[in-house]
Chain A
Amino acid sequence: MIDWSALLLSFQVACAGTLAALVVGVVVAGVLSSSRSWARDVVDALVTAPLVVPPTVLGYYLLVMLGRNSPLGKAFEALTGTTIVFTRTGVVVAAFVGALPLIVKSARAAMEQVDPRLIGAARTLGAGPLRVFVTVVLPLAHSGIAAGAALGFARSLGDFGVTLMIAGNIAGLTRTASLSIYDAVMGGRDSDANGLAALMTALAIVALTLANRLTRRSSHDF
């Protein structure tokens, strides 16, 4: 039988993680695309590292950074009464970390494509950097940003390694669709694995198609 609760959890977590990554990612991309500082390459490398660092390594770092004994973990527990690790919050963190680099990359590329003369025109018409960002850069880069969000959603939907490291594999609590497929295969329940795998593939293809369409639209805008 297909583990619908795991699929629903994956979906919810991917939505929450992508939304958070969208907010942070757009700000980071905006700073990166307008900055000329040497620190820009360092920040870019840090933000995109999750694309190339092994998920277990990334998960381990997060576990150390956000665990119950870490300053961040302690602060979160003091504020909310629950921990980040081995809870749904941890699953959302894993989704966030997976989606962020894709959103930053895509949003930054879209923002850098905005004609600098439009930005210059806005500046000479009295708009400060923030107003230019909100009224010119964001509206003109929105397709690229949305494409990044769709890619980030697809990526975070299927996360396995990071989720396992920081949230574990707790049935009904942190067991996402990817973890449930792993369980089904290990337990010899191939038909369960097949059904869930097919659904996950379908969802990923829908998200990728959406991302492609949005990317095409953003390159048509200019």
Chain B
Amino acid sequence: MTSKGLDVDVRVAAREANEDRVVVAFRAGPGFTVLFGPSGAGKTTTLMAIAGLVRPRAGSIRLDDTVFFDGDAPQREVAPHRRRISLVFQSLALFPHLSAAENVAYGIAAPRLQRREQALSWLQRFRVGHVARRRPETLSGGEGQRVALARALAAEPRALLLDEPFSALDDELRVALRDDLRSIVDERQLPVVFVTHDRAEARALGQQVVLMSEGRVKATGTVALLAALPA
């Protein structure tokens, strides 16, 4: 039996100590799932494991009917570049030696000319067509975040992972970008795992919420969970 969405059930070992740093299990269907918790809760580690950049010690990661990692057969792990899961880092991780358009084109699998056209149209879709030729270091925080989201979506991912992508924005820009992103996610029925420690953000985007603390899942449910938390 198969189901649509991302199934995560992993244990990630701490680098040095002989214990599990992160133990997390949740399901993320199409739409936004918010990983909510204080810094150090293991949210970023969870995203890295889903993307394949950190190898879990045990457990499994599946997307729809594809098994990316199975702790019982770790040698069959799917390499990160074959997962088609885009990850937007908190630092954005835009390639500093490439222009905005080249950054977006990086993940597009098409002949050169088409790649450029598609990259430009993604930049326009995120309202930053005018920065196409500029290097990341010359972009404002908001422009950089739009370019990073355009790059992540241009690669035609099967799921999207976002690590506090709006943290550096003021409220107005944040709402605008959130709306742009939501329309694309809804249109593609894309599972999105969204990490934040900002309650208003979680409430605005989250259809489903996973509460994390000290490397463990404390609760899963709807945004109503957040209201019950002490301020």
Contacts and interface: CB of A to CB of B under 8 A. Distances in A.
A-side interface mostly: helix
Interface in B75-98: 79-87, 89, 91, 93-97
Contact of B155 (A118, A120, A125): A125
A115 B93 CA distance: 8
A37 to B, nearest CB: 15
Given A117-B89, A118-B95, A123 B106 contact: no
B110 to A, nearest CB: 12
Contacts of A19: none
Contacts of B155: 124-126
Interface residues of A, number: 17
Contacts of B86: 124-125
A139 interface: yes
B156 to A, nearest CB: 9
B48 A122 contact: no
A124 B53 contact: yes
Given A126-B81, A127-B81, A121 B96 contact: no
Interface string B37-66: 000000000001001110000000000000
B165 interface: no
Interface string A131-142: 000011001100
Contacts of B152: 125
B52 A126 contact: no
Contacts of B144: none
B87 A126 contact: no
A140 B135 CA distance: 14
Contacts of B151: 125
B89 A120 contact: yes
B51 A120 contact: yes
B107 interface: yes
Nearest to B86: A124
A126 B109 contact: yes
Contact of B87 (A115, A121, A139, A221): A121
A188 interface: no
Contacts of B80: 120, 123-124
A53 B48 CA distance: 43
A121 B93 contact: yes
B-side interface mostly: loop
Given A120-B48, A120-B53, A122-B106, A128 B93 contact: no
Contacts of A115: 91, 93
A136 B84 CA distance: 19
A115 to B, nearest CB: 7
A121 B89 contact: yes
B183 to A, nearest CB: 22
Given A139-B97, A221-B96, A124 B91 contact: no
Most buried by A among B48, B81, B89, B155: B81
A136 B91 CA distance: 17
Contacts of A135: 106
A174 B156 CA distance: 59
Contact of A118 (B84, B85, B93, B107): B93
B107 A126 contact: yes
Contacts of B94: 121
B85 A124 contact: yes
B97 A123 contact: no
A180 to B, nearest CB: 44
Contacts of A139: 97
Interface string A187-222: 000000000000000000000000000000000010
Given A125-B151, A126-B82, 8 more contacts: A118-B95, A120-B89, A121-B87, A122-B95, A124-B80, A126-B109, A127-B106, A140-B97
23 contacts: A115-B91, A117-B89, A117-B91, A117-B93, A118-B93, A120-B80, A121-B87, A121-B89, A122-B95, A123-B80, A124-B52, A124-B81, A124-B83, A124-B85, A124-B86, A124-B87, A125-B106, A125-B151, A126-B84, A126-B109, A127-B81, A140-B96, A140-B97
